[in-house]
């Protein structure tokens, strides 16, 4: 006779963890916790409406180190000639091998969507033009051309997706000066997009550029290591993710996003947003729009210039009251606090709210830096636990969303492996 098996564990709550709030005064649309959320829980997985290449930081060109469609890192030393021998990576037939693909499926998809003959001609023109005339001569100008090429292409390929792009935050009037959008509009006109030009007014181009500025996520290159052991970070591509674009900003975020562009999945350009710590039902879910170790001044400047608001989050309210100090000193304070303020860890079970209020009077959010900021030099990444087990048990492994490092254990100084930097596995 068989003894009956124990019943399976109850499934974790299947109810969706997030809900959209149509308007929070002064903040616009927002995402809030639809139920209590566990540390590391996946809040959202999102696919891009469009992707476009970043510039190579060495020479300002579009990098050919990544697949021209899915942006996976291409193996070094692969032949680039169209006549290259068997085993070479497929190339775009139209731009003399400037754009390479990780395989035939990506090339075939690209030629129908992201790298149509028109997009190929437009990007080739930008490449061969060398330096663009002012005010487009900076790195920003070229990236924006690449964005507009992708946006015009999207309009031609999928009007529905283009409407989703238009529904995102950002208007024609959000530019500090109309000069740059006008110059970009006239450049795009000269490249002749494959659409009724009347559909693309200067206002529409300006609105698209604002949407890009306020909503694009950078997909990072694999983290390099500088000569001093510090993390080197560069963006390989930018993407517009329509659902993730609804997260508002907080300088002490409760969620952070991960990407795994070089992972094995055929959906490698998806981004995944996970909870950093426990979040009660009804709380707004926020990301930080930049590394959490930026100073008060740097954060306020970026938020005002690029996103059009002055941040009044708990952290900014505290730091606003700090006496003037130079930025390096402020950064040093964060570092020292995160190394020294071990007492704050005792408050972990109370959740972030209690901890933030009970920490050091001058630096009440020290706990966040101790627990959730990557300690690798120059990384500035945020740590979130790996997703909970199917039984809902919180993982003891924290993952950095910038360098990909994994850290084991609750104690930020206990890396479980005796390494100085607290990293036990590099992702
Ligand atoms: C990526 S969108 C976020 C979603 C946006 N609220 C919406 O309605 O689509 C970025 C914009 O949201 C608003 N926003 C984000 N975080 C905010 C905050 N902490 N305070 C005020 N406004 C914020 C700003 O208008 C910003 O440009």
| Ligand 1 midpoint to CA 34 (Å) | 19
| Ligand 1 midpoint to CA 378 (Å) | 27
Cα gap 100→90, rounded to integer Å: 6
Atom 23 of ligand 1, residue of closest alpha carbon: 27
| Listed residue (292, 310, 162) closest to 240, CA to CA | 162
Cα gap 137→67, rounded to integer Å: 26
Spell out the long-range contacts of 352-357 with Cβ–Cβ below 8 A and sequence spacing 24 or more. 352/252, 352/254, 352/277, 356/252, 356/314
Is pLDDT of 32 > 70? yes
Residues lining ligand 1, judged by CB closer than 6 Å? 26-30, 168-169, 214-215, 245-246, 248-249, 307-309, 311
3-state helix, strand, coil in the chain (%, to 5): 35, 20, 50
Atom 7 of ligand 1, residue of closest alpha carbon: 29
Atom 21 of ligand 1, residue of closest alpha carbon: 27
ipTM: 1.00
> Which positions ≥6 away from 36 have C-beta within 8 Å?
278, 279, 280, 281
Give the orientation angle of helix 179-191 with respect to helix 139-157, to 10 degrees: 50
| Ligand 1 midpoint to CA 169 (Å) | 8
CB atoms under 10 Å from CB of 40, counted, come to 22
Out of 247-251, 310-314, 366-370, pick the least confident.
Answer: 366-370
- pLDDT, tens digit, for every residue of 69-92? 999 999 764 444 444 444 578 888
- pLDDT, tens digit, for every residue of 280-312? 999 999 999 999 999 999 999 999 999 999 999
Cα gap 420→223, rounded to integer Å: 18
Q: Which of 18, 24, 26, 27 to mutate to test the pocket of ligand 1 (most atoms within 8 A of CB)?
A: 27
| Ligand 1 midpoint to CA 381 (Å) | 21
Residue 88 has a pLDDT of 75
- pLDDT, tens digit, for every residue of 410-424? 544 333 333 333 333
| Backbone dihedral angles phi then psi of residue 124, each to the nearest 5 degrees | -65, -40
Is pLDDT of 27 > 60? yes
Point out the ligand 1 atom lying closest to the alpha carbon of residue 30. Answer: 6
Q: Report CA-CA distances (Å) from 294 to 194, 235, 366.
A: 42, 18, 14
- pLDDT, tens digit, for every residue of 209-242? 999 999 999 999 887 766 676 667 788 999 999 9
CB atoms under 10 Å from CB of 176, counted, come to 9
Point out the ligand 1 atom lying closest to the alpha carbon of residue 24. Answer: 6
Point out the ligand 1 atom lying closest to the alpha carbon of residue 246. Answer: 4
| Ligand 1 midpoint to CA 156 (Å) | 28
Residue 327 has a pLDDT of 53
Sheet hosting strand 397-400, strand order edge to edge:
383-385, 397-400, 406-408
Atom 4 of ligand 1, residue of closest alpha carbon: 246
Point out the ligand 1 atom lying closest to the alpha carbon of residue 27. Answer: 22
Beta strands in 245-395 (DSSP E): 248-249, 255-259, 271-275, 286-287, 383-385
| Ligand 1 midpoint to CA 128 (Å) | 37
Cα gap 85→172, rounded to integer Å: 49
Atom 13 of ligand 1, residue of closest alpha carbon: 27
DSSP assigned state of 170: -
Provide the whole-model pTM: 0.84
Mean pLDDT of 252-256: 97
Cα gap 97→397, rounded to integer Å: 42
């Amino acid at each position: 006779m068989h003894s009956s098996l124990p019943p399976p564990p109850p499934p974790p709550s299947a109810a969706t963890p997030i809900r959209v709030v149509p308007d929070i005064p002064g903040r616009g649309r927002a995402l809030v916790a639809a139920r209590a959320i566990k540390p590391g829980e996946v809040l959202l997985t999102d696919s891009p409406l469009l992707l476009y290449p970043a510039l190579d930081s060495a020479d300002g060109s579009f990098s050919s180190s990544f697949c021209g469609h899915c942006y996976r890192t291409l193996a070094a030393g692969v032949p680039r000639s169209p006549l290259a021998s068997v085993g070479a990576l497929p190339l775009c037939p139209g731009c003399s091998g400037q754009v390479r693909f990780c395989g035939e499926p990506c090339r075939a998809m690209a030629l129908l969507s992201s790298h149509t003959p028109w997009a190929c001609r437009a990007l080739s023109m930008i490449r061969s033009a060398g330096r663009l005339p002012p005010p487009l001569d900076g790195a920003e100008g070229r990236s924006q051309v690449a964005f507009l090429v992708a946006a015009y292409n999207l309009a031609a390929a999928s009007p529905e997706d283009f409407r989703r792009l238009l529904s995102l935050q950002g208007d024609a009037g959000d530019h500090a000066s109309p000069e740059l959008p006008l110059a970009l509009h006239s450049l795009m006109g000269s490249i002749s997009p494959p659409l009724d030009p009347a559909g693309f007014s200067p206002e529409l181009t300006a609105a698209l550029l604002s949407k890009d500025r306020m909503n694009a996520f950078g997909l990072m290159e694999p983290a390099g290591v500088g000569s001093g052991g510090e993390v080197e970070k560069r963006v390989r591509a930018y993407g517009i993710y329509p659902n993730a674009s609804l997260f508002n900003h907080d300088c002490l975020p409760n969620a952070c996003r991960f990407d795994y562009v070089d992972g094995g999945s055929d959906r490698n350009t998806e981004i995944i947003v996970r909870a950093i710590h426990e979040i009660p039902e009804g709380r707004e879910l926020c990301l930080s729009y930049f590394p959490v170790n930026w100073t008060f001044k740097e954060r306020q400047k970026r938020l005002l210039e690029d996103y059009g608001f002055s941040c009044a989050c708990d952290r900014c309210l505290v730091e606003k009251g700090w006496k003037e100090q130079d930025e390096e000193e402020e950064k040093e304070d964060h570092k020292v606090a995160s190394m020294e303020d071990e007492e704050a860890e005792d408050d972990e079970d109370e959740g972030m709210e209690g901890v933030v209020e009970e920490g050091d009077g001058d630096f009440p959010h020290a706990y966040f830096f101790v627990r959730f900021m990557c300690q690798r030099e120059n990384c500035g990444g945020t740590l979130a636990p790996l997703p909970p087990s199917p039984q809902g048990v919180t993982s003891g492994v924290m993952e950095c969303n910038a360098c990909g490092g994994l850290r084991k254990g609750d104690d930020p100084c206990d890396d479980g492996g005796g390494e100085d930097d607290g990293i036990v596995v590099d992702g």
